[in-house]
Amino acid sequence: METLTPAANSWLTLPAHRHWLARQGQRLLEFAKAARIEDGFADLDNRGRPVLASGALTIQTARMTHSFALACLQGIPGSAAMVDHGIRALQGPLRDARHGGWHASARPASTSRKQAYLHAFVALAASSAVAAGRPGAAALLADAVDVLERRFWCEVEQAFVESFAQDWSDQEDYRGGNSNMHGVEACLALADVCNDTRWLDRALAISERLIHQHAAATNYLPVEHFDAHWQALPDYNHDRPGDEFRPYGQTPGHAFEWARLLLHLEAARHRIGLANPSWLAEDAQHLFAAACRVGWAVDGQPGIVYTVDWQQRPVVAQRLHWTLAEAVAAAAALYQRTGDASHERWYREFWDYIDLYLIDREHGSWHHELDTGNQPAQTIWPGKPDLYHAYQATLLPTLPLAPSLATALARQSGLG
């Protein structure tokens, strides 16, 4: 494996561009600080006010803890206190003291389930907090790893199962591409922080099933929904095409996200001398090309549509901010890996779009959803609750493909 030095005129190497990325990241962090409430972190509305009616949410608390741990490693003042607040919330009001694992919120409904997706983010948050050297992080990480391994990782399937009832009964007869994708992300971080190569083997097994088998057979767009035997469910949520986490059809944004993760996995394994199949880099390029082909400006307007059907026609044409964040990060990763100038051109085009349409210079952060005319909308993503995607997009282009984000920043800061 070889990563190439970017050309001298690449945006990835220009000091002014890196300064711009850092400034955008700091704007995002300042906006997100308002999400802190007593029991963790809440959603934010369009003007950056916490949505108190929903209370503290575990997914937001985990993502904020992870993001502020990255900021702490960068030396951003005020970040350490945010990380410590998140750790206390995840060890206290958000944790299920009776059955173990984490509730969805500080005020969970009796019908809410324990999701692999959410627990992967708790593990990611804990690993980043450990890398940042925060008190209580090691205990949180040990707890999160224990739950992932005992409850969600299935050695027979070599993948994460999806969800359970609060008492760990009633395992769901569904397997999710999205939860396993974020499981791969967590695996990459855990391999570094725990110094355990088993997590890289697990990440490879998941990636081989979901990408090299299923996505490769469907024009390199990830398949999102499966039954308990890993048979695809092409009609899943046909009546709910705009679902926030389980939409019908295929999602170009996830093809970008997977492309980046495959390159991180390849680099992580190479860095410690583990064998890599050639398809990791090859499939990453196919995924990126497919996402650009079926997602970008396919309805005549710039932007990436949320979902397409199995004939690769747009279904939900809203533009979601996270798809652009993942697209720009994937373009940067592919340019680092291949040196292909076309990826750098895409990198510039995606950032130009983000600057023109997504960055909200009046109220802060990024608009989370735009309509087909690239005007702010709220049909899928109300408010601006998400720091994680946009903030990572300002960091990933400045770092090597391995180690993972927090570990890379820790080494830069002298902590790793």
Helix, strand and coil content of the chain, in percent to the nearest 5, comes to 50, 10, 40
Does residue 3 surpass a pLDDT of 70? no
Return the pLDDT at 413.
80
Return the pLDDT at 111.
82
pLDDT digits (tens, 9 = 90+) for 119-150: 999 999 999 999 999 999 999 999 999 999 99
pLDDT digits (tens, 9 = 90+) for 26-48: 999 999 999 999 999 999 999 99
pLDDT digits (tens, 9 = 90+) for 278-299: 999 999 999 999 999 999 999 9
Return the pLDDT at 58.
98
**Active site (catalytic) residues:** 254, 389
Averaged pLDDT, 389-414: 96
Averaged pLDDT, 336-364: 97
Average pLDDT taken over every residue of the chain: 96
Cis peptide before 382 (omega within 30 of 0): no
Averaged pLDDT, 299-328: 97
Does residue 244 surpass a pLDDT of 70? yes
Does residue 4 surpass a pLDDT of 80? no
Structure tokens at 210: 């979901």
Return the pLDDT at 414.
79
Q: In whole angstroms, what is the distance from residue 25 CA to residue 27 CA?
A: 5
Q: In whole angstroms, what is the distance from residue 12 CA to residue 262 CA?
A: 20
What confidence category does residue 110 fall into, taking pLDDT thresholds of 50, 70 and 90? confident
Q: What is the CATH number of domain 15-236+250-413?
A: 1.50.10.10
pLDDT digits (tens, 9 = 90+) for 343-353: 999 999 999 99
Q: Write a three-state SS string for 268-321.
A: HHHHCCCCCCCHHHHHHHHHHHHHHHHHECCCCCCCEEEEECCCCCEEEEEEEH
Return the pLDDT at 7.
67
Give the largest CA-CA distance in the chain: 57
C-alpha 336: how far from chain center: 20
Does residue 262 surpass a pLDDT of 80? yes
What are the domain boundaries of the chain? 15-236+250-413
Q: Residue 119: in which H helix or E strand, if any?
A: helix 116-131
Collect all residues with Cβ–Cβ distance below 8 Å to 356 and sequence separation of at least 6: none
Return the pLDDT at 310.
96
Burial class (CB in 10 A: 0-12, 13-18, 19+), 295: buried
Strands (DSSP E) found in 52-122? 114-115
Angle between helices 116-131 and 137-147 (to 10 degrees): 150
Return the pLDDT at 5.
63
pLDDT digits (tens, 9 = 90+) for 69-85: 999 999 999 999 999 99
